[in-house]
Amino acid sequence: MAVACKGVARTCLITDCVSGKHAGVVDGAPRLADGTLAGSVLSMDRAVANVMRFAGVTLQQAVEMATLSPARAMGCDRAKGSLAPGKDADVVLFDQGVNVSLTLIGGEMAYQQ
């Protein structure tokens, strides 16, 4: 509904993903000892896959909602959100199943599967 109402450029994918190490995961959600919800276990690659599946957007549109749209909303799109000369060279590569295989931060490898 958000994508249909606001469009890709004004919809941001976000996650408050936690590792689950410091909270128990109950029914797919991390919880504190008293049962209080403590974030989610949704990773950004899963958010991209979910919006493609449930909102029917293309991979390009889903990636824009995970990158450029949030950078614009935060006012940091001069350095973040897309690949262009002078930007920070933060890159995520994933396979066709939208599983992350490589992450570069500032052009330096931060993660490789």
Q: Are 35 and 58 in contact (CB under 8 A)?
A: no
Active site members: 16
Question: What are the b/e assignments for 29-62, b being 16+ CB within 10 Å?
Answer: bbbeeeeeebbbbbebbbbbbebbeebebeeebb
